[in-house]
Amino acid sequence: MSAMARERVLVVDDEEGVRSSLRNILRDEGYSVDLAESGERCLEMVRGRPYHAVLLDVWLPGRDGLSVLQELAALPFPPRVIMISGHADVPVAHRAGRLGAFDFIEKPLSLEKVALTLRNAVSDKKKDDRIRHLRERLQGEETLIGESAAIQDLRQQIEVTAPTNGRVLILGENGTGKELVARTIHARSLRADEPFVEMNCAAIPEDLIESELFGHVKGSFTGAVDNKPGRFLMADGGTLFLDEIGDMSVRTQSKVLRVLQEQAFEPVGGTTLRVDVRVIAATNKDLPKEIAAGRFREDLYFRLNVIPLRVPPLRERVEDLPLLAAHFVERFSGHYGRPKRLQPDTLALLKRHRWPGNVRELKNVMERLVILVQGDTITPEDLPEALRGAADTPAVGEGAPDFGSLKEGREHFERAFILRKLREAGGNVVRAAELLGLERSNLYRKMRAYGIRGGEGGG
């Protein structure tokens, strides 16, 4: 058998000779093996680190094996438990089966029987994990939608990059879909059947981020009431996605750098653990500028930036907007049971908006419209005011007027901007002047110059 090192097994027996013998045999089989001498220690270790299988003696001092089995089976993602007993007790074996044991082996142990049963148990556990990861991907995943040159180029880069173990640095503004790109890379990688674990570095307080990344052992600090596996360990064999890496402190960056260099780390208060993890990072920041300002380590940047991928903002691929908008409308129509469709005039207005929040903003707007619009058609009048006002600005990326001079272009924009603010103010010139930051007399003067009648734009 050529079991990979990430297939972890815990042997629980109160006899040191049995523990030692099983450890040596299973290590020869290629497993990573830990030992526990009691049921209490078994539960503590399983809560602190994921295992594929547990070889558990029935008769233990303190908590007996069956009570431990019952607690293990209640965990969210339990290991496969193989019960071991020195007594040919059929009722005990039946009860173990009802409590969730994968199999029951009698002592003295047959090494062939142990190896075969363990192989089947680990295979069963990994199959369940694959199904769970696939289900999670299908529930949370969206595809890269669009036919623009920018998206087609990004897809091609992903196809080339995904099957490798190269680290990837995903660059892009907020809301462009950096997490989706990371998930797509993992789904098309050789690690697709293994965990995809993510962490938003900007969302976790500085005093907790090391514990989140590397885990901690019970009692290592105030509040550490139990062992906790970190994200690196949870992602062992798979992919760890570090979102907003540019917001990570320099102190934590140095520890992440060590993991990338050595594929090893120390949980807070613990001893060194080795892992096999592919790291994908993402940021909306200009990391070279952060390096120049002393906020990001240059050596970590070079470690992460093996394969840089840039996700374009929506304004740079406006030709994809109709496909994206239709996708979101169809998705939310099915989700809420409220069939909707977009009028062509509505799409035309959507294409004129700048979308500073990118695809995420578009998704949120489409969900809101599917929920709030009463009829089956989403019209221009149904759009939020900010999007209706876009009718007075040239469409992004599609034939903006060719002005003869900068002065003409500036006047065109200023007129459109005043009209938009008048519309937002419901035609109230006093309110529009406040929105524009102008004196009312100054606004009246500009309106006369641009041929805008009082109250125009208020309908």
Give the pLDDT band of residue 270 (cuts 50, 70, 90): confident
Report the C-alpha gap between 227 and 209 in whole angstroms: 16
Our CA dihedral for 138, 140, 141, 145, rounded to 10 degrees, sits at 130
Each residue's pLDDT tens digit, 104-154:
998 888 888 999 999 999 999 988 887 776 666 555 455 789 999 999 999
Report the C-alpha gap between 123 and 165 in whole angstroms: 24
Q: Which residues of 344-357 are buried (b: 16+ CB within 10 A; e: fewer)?
A: eebeebbbbbebeb
User: In the block, which residue shows the tokens 């049971």?
Assistant: 337
Q: Is the dihedral of CA 423, 427, 429, 431 positive or negative?
A: negative
Predicted confidence (pLDDT) at residue 255 exceeds the cutoff of 80? yes
- Residue 10 is predicted with a pLDDT of 96
- Residue 154 is predicted with a pLDDT of 96
Each residue's pLDDT tens digit, 15-37:
999 999 999 999 988 899 999 99
Predicted confidence (pLDDT) at residue 79 exceeds the cutoff of 80? yes
Written as six digits, the tokens of 69 are 């089995």
Lowest mean pLDDT among 290-294, 394-398, 425-429: 394-398
